[in-house]
Copies of this chain bind each other. A is one copy, B any other.
Amino acid sequence: MYNAKAYSAASATSPLASTVIARRDPTPNDVQIEILFCGICHSDLHQVRNEWSNVMPTVYPCVPGHEIVGRVTKVGSAVTRFKPGDFAAVGCMVDSDRTCPACKAGLEQFCPNFTLTYNFPDKHLGGVTYGGYSDSVVVDQHFVLCVPSNLNLAGAAPLLCAGITTYSPMRHWGVTKGKKVGVVGLGGLGHMGVKFAHALGAHTIVFTTSPGKKEDALRLGADEVILSRNADEMAKHAGSFDFILDAVSAEHDINAYIQLLARDGNLVLVGAPEKPLALSAIGLLFARRSVSGSLIGGIAETQEMLDFCGKHNITSDVEVIPIQKVNEAYERLLKADVKYRFSIDMASLKSE
């Protein structure tokens, strides 16, 4: 074991503050990474404030962060894919059982025995796993990703959650050239959805309630922008979308978007609104449409996504902050006051 610097919350109402945590010494299959950047995901805030107490109660102290990029500092004897000095990344998971049907299908995100990057039982040290708001992490090589060397590291960090969450459903439901794709909700997830849909060659349309977001949507790669409150504009697109990515976490009317799907079209939810959504069956029946959910992605697909980003030079639009501003960033996140993701420069932790 060794000590690592980190930021942790001591309770649901405490601000995040500087601390020291224990990390394991690398086992033969482990990769030790010096964390350079860690993205801030809305999940971090939910977990820190124990807002998921009914399904995943928070164990304190809690060190969040699952959008991790850094440099390999040490590898175990059985590690073949990494060597010290390589850029590496870690996402939402650090382990799984490797034997269940989901794992065998490369879909570790659906493994009933996965280990999430933070606030999950730590099989090595006991207690719970600690995430990426830290200067160092040790992770089994199977859950460590390679980062293409051309990518900006601060912008690459959010790919590990916001990126794979939007890339995976597009690949699964066949977003390609010739398809008409919509993105609802231009935030941390949605802005990645626009970049991926565009790079995959789809005709990409952003739905927004704010005329002010139009310019930015076009800059991100949208071919068109639809003001979702304009019923006439919406009606013009009825029955025409092959796929719509719905990245809205607040309550909203999904039926308005279902009506825009073509036959066999799919509305995929990647946000998780707290209250149930109202679903009209008729909208599904009349064109054999579907509403689905999707959750991050498997490890192989995460690597595929990173390689795709390398090829197309895709990163998240980030505002880089020092870790000392993390509590302020959380407050701004609640007001959607960020374009489009915060990325913590972990060099700032050295001064703690």
Measured CB to CB, the residues of A under 8 A from B are 101-102, 107, 110, 172, 254-255, 263, 266, 269-273, 276-295
Contact = CB atoms under 8 A, between A and B. Distances in A.
Rank and list the top 8 A-B pairs by shortest CB-CB distance, nearest first. Answer: A284-B293, A285-B293, A276-B278, A290-B292, A279-B279, A290-B290, A269-B281, A285-B295
Contacts of A255: 276
Given A102-B263, A110-B263, A263-B102, A286 B293 contact: yes
Contact of A293 (B271, B289, B295): B289
A284 to B, nearest CB: 3
Contact of A279 (B107, B110, B277, B289): B277
Contacts of A288: 110, 172, 292-295
Contacts of A295: 285-286, 288
Given A278-B279, A290-B290, A107 B263 contact: yes
A130 B27 CA distance: 77
Contacts of A172: 288
16 contacts: A101-B263, A110-B288, A172-B288, A269-B281, A272-B281, A272-B282, A276-B278, A278-B278, A278-B279, A279-B279, A283-B293, A285-B293, A285-B294, A288-B293, A290-B290, A291-B291
Number of identical protomers: 2
B281 A293 contact: yes
Nearest to A254: B279
Nearest to A55: B282
Contact of A289 (B101, B278, B286, B292): B292
Contact of A285 (B102, B272, B281, B283): B272
A72 to B, nearest CB: 32
Given A272-B281, A277-B278, 12 more contacts: A107-B263, A110-B288, A172-B288, A271-B281, A272-B282, A276-B278, A276-B279, A276-B280, A283-B293, A285-B293, A285-B295, A288-B293
A267 to B, nearest CB: 10
Nearest to A266: B290
A240 to B, nearest CB: 12
Contacts of A110: 263, 286-288
Contacts of A286: 110, 293, 295
Nearest to A296: B285
A273 B279 CA distance: 10
Contacts of A281: 269, 271-273, 276-277, 293
Contacts of A289: 292-293
A269 B284 contact: yes
B287 A290 contact: no
A146 B93 CA distance: 56
Contacts of A285: 269-270, 272, 293-295
B291 A284 contact: yes
